[in-house]
């Protein structure tokens, strides 16, 4: 039944998903009964491990539903997980790359068979809407298959070089480094975890995987399927927990590199730690963004309003690529704001288990507090144009869940709310007269992840493409001004403070970052 249902991506707006929602109506209660409320020990090689403090995770939807009980791995447990990955590395790295690809294709097949369970886990752990969660579950399948195809396309990243002598053989080969620590964020517990884990293991590395503390159920479901696919025990080891577990992982001397997605501050701390020792170790990091959108007087304002709203308020603004500042040309400022307000008012806020909800809860109490504070700051220093309300804010009756309205504010140039990442459904408005000035202001931030423009003028589009400082750019996209990258279709690469290597996941330059080059020259006997 489920295989016959439509696939869901972040860009397929207007698709009839009635049958999908009907299927979810029955699957969500079944999932809760089967998976919620259990104890989930960490997984080190072939053994479960309970060394550490137990903690329970509550769903942000109501703060009463118990997702499960997990183990915040002790430093000793993290060390054992690293040792297990190191022990498995020689055999896994020497496994022919075609055999690794075959195993990972099998993993993709397994995930496809259980993708509704994966989606529901994401929905309940994070408070994602049904469509967002289903899109993420479909994305992980395409992620693995895309990287398998990249390994095949590049012949395992080995190629012949030129020869100085007829009897020599010269090749360049990329080889794995060792044990990678993978530290994943809360907002995409499936896609971002699978992206980094796949990048590491398909290239021959082994992994110690630390999901976000509240997303260990998704992580365990992914690990179950990778083991069922036949990937050997110890190739991927799972340790749950918060910042202390992450710091213990980064500090392991056997770690060969870290793949990280999260805040700029945390990413830079990891980068400094891994490059300050006697040997610099690679860090593959994506660290957020401000993600401006530009709306000119020559834009289709209906398309612009829809695209900006979807990117600003989808997943409650809790995306690294969320549009959190929009620059609108003065001539169309009022008309655009009116259209944006009308579209935003149609976005239902509530329990994301319901089929028509677009925005679920904010993930944490801290996020709710930041939302309240930022709205007050915006009202003091500028204007709250619409939204700004936080419902169910911490009352005991509703279990302390937090639901924020889509909110548009207006603040002066250079204001922190227009330059710093908020990770909230809070969109800052700036008005401009000349596009070059707007681009200069939008570029004058530490981030450079994504950006979008709405214009029907080719010269304006060319100006944007040539001057914008972002790794992912979109033009005239109704499904999302700055969001919606998909494996093999859009690379997801951060410039400036949004990344370290300036090469992104989902695209053709990601996998080589998990390897190092070796040049081989072999002299054969002359005939």
Q: What are the tens digits of pLDDT across the range 180-195? A: 999 999 999 999 999 9
Q: What are phi and psi of 367, to 5 degrees?
A: -65, -40
Does the residue 36 lie in any domain? no
CA–CA dist 324, 428 (Å, integer): 6
Residue 315 lies in a domain: yes
**Residue 525 belongs to a domain:** no
The answer on 339 and 191 residing in a single domain is: no
What domain count does the chain have?
A: 2
Contact by Cβ (8 Å): 148, 224: no
Q: What is the model's pLDDT at position 283? A: 95
Q: Is residue 215 part of a domain?
A: yes
Report if residue 126 sits inside a domain: yes
- Reported as a single tens digit per residue, the pLDDT across 63-92 is 999 999 999 999 999 999 999 999 999 999
Q: 436 and 508 share a domain?
A: no
Q: Are residues 185 and 315 in the same domain?
A: no
With vertex at residue 323, the alpha carbon angle to CA 318 and CA 324, rounded to the nearest 5 degrees, is 80
Q: Are residues 99 and 183 in the same domain?
A: yes
Confidence of residue 8 (pLDDT cuts 50, 70, 90): confident
Alpha carbon distances (Å) from 269 to 182, 435, 496: 15, 36, 16
Contacts of 137 (CB under 8 A, 6+ apart): 8, 111, 115, 116, 118, 119, 122, 190
What mean pLDDT value characterizes the chain? 94
In a domain, 16, yes or no: no
Domain shared by 101 and 175, yes or no:
yes
Please give the pLDDT value at position 7: 80
Is the Cβ–Cβ distance between 505 and 485 less than 8 Å?
no
Pair (458, 515) in one structural domain: no
Residue 366 and residue 381 in one domain? yes
If asked whether residues 324 and 223 sit together in one domain, one would say no
Residue 452 neighbours by CB distance under 10 Å: 29
pTM listed for this prediction: 0.95
Residue 483 contacts residue 292 (beta carbons within 8 Å):
no
Query: What value does the mean pLDDT take over residues 357-370?
Result: 95
CATH number at residue 425: 3.40.309.10
- Burial class of residue 491 in the structure, from the number of CB atoms within 10 Å of its CB (0-12 exposed, 13-18 middle, 19+ buried): middle
Residue 25 counted as domain residue: no
435 phi and psi, to 5 degrees?
Answer: -60, -40
Provide the sign of the torsion angle of the four alpha carbons 316, 319, 325, 326, taken in this order. Answer: negative
Same domain (yes/no): 432, 514: no
Domain range holding 102? Answer: 2-7+42-287+504-519
Are 249 and 297 found together in one domain? no
Catalytic residues: 286, 320
Residue 526 lies in a domain: no
Q: What confidence tier does 13 reach under pLDDT thresholds 50, 70, 90? A: low
Same domain flag for 395 and 411: yes
């Amino acid at each position: 039944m489920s295989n016959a249902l439509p696939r869901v991506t972040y860009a397929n707006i207007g698709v009839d998903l009635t049958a999908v929602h009907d299927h979810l109506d029955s699957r969500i209660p079944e999932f809760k009964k089967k998976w919620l409320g259990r104890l989930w020990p960490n997984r080190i090689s072939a053994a479960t491990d309970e060394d550490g403090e137990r903690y329970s995770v509550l769903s942000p939807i109501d703060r009463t539903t118990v997702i499960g009980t997990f183990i915040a791995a002790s430093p000793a447990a993290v060390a054992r997980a690293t040792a297990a990955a190191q022990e498995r590395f020689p055999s896994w790295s020497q496994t022919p790359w075609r055999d690794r690809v075959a195993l990972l294709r099998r993993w993709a097949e397994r995930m496809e068979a259980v993708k509704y369970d994966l989606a529901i886990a994401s929905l309940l752990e994070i408070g994602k809407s049904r469509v967002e969660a289903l899109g993420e579950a479909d994305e992980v399948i395409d992620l693995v298959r895309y990287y398998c195809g990249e390994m095949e396309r590049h012949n395992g990243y080995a190629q012949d070089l030129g020869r100085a002598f007829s009897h020599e053989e010269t090749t360049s080969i990329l080889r794995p480094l060792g044990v990678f620590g993978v530290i994943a964020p809360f907002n995409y517990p499936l896609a971002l975890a699978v992206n980094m884990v796949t990048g590491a293991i398909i290239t021959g590395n082994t992994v110690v995987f630390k999901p976000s503390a509240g997303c260990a159920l998704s992580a365990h479901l992914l690990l179950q399927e990778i083991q069922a696919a036949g990937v050997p025990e110890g190739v991927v080891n799972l340790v749950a927990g918060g910042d202390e577990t992450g710091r213990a992982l980064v500090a392991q001397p056997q770690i060969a590199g870290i793949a990280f997605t999260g805040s700029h501050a945390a990413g830079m701390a990891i980068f400094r730690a891994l490059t300050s020792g006697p040997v610099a170790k690679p860090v593959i990091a994506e660290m957020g963004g401000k993600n401006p959108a530009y709306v000119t007087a020559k834009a289709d304002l209906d398309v612009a309003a829809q695209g900006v709203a979807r990117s600003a308020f989808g997943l409650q603004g809790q995306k690294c690529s969320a549009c959190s500042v929009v620059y609108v040309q003065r001539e169309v400022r009022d008309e655009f704001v009116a259209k944006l307000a009308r579209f935003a008012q149609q976005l239902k806020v509530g329990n994301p288990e319901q089929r028509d909800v677009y925005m679920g809860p904010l993930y944490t109490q801290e996020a709710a507090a930041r939302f309240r504070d930022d709205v007050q700051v915006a009202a003091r220093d500028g204007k709250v144009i619409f939204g700004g309300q936080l419902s169910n804010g911490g009352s005991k009756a509703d279990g302390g869940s937090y639901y924020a309205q889509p909110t548009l504010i207006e603040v002066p140039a250079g204001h922190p709310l227009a330059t710093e990442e908020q990770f909230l459904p809070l969109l800052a408005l700036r008005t401009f007269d000349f596009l070059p000035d707007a681009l200069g202001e939008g570029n004058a931030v530490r981030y450079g992840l994504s950006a979008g423009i709405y214009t029907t003028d080719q010269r304006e589009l060319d100006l944007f493409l040539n001057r914008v400082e972002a790794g992912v750019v979109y033009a005239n996209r109704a499904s999302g001004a700055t969001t919606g990258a998909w494996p093999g279709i859009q690379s997801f690469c951060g410039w400036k403070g949004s990344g370290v290597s300036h090469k992104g996941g989902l695209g053709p330059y990601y996998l080589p970052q998990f390897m190092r080059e070796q040049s081989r020259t072999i002299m054969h006997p002359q005939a």
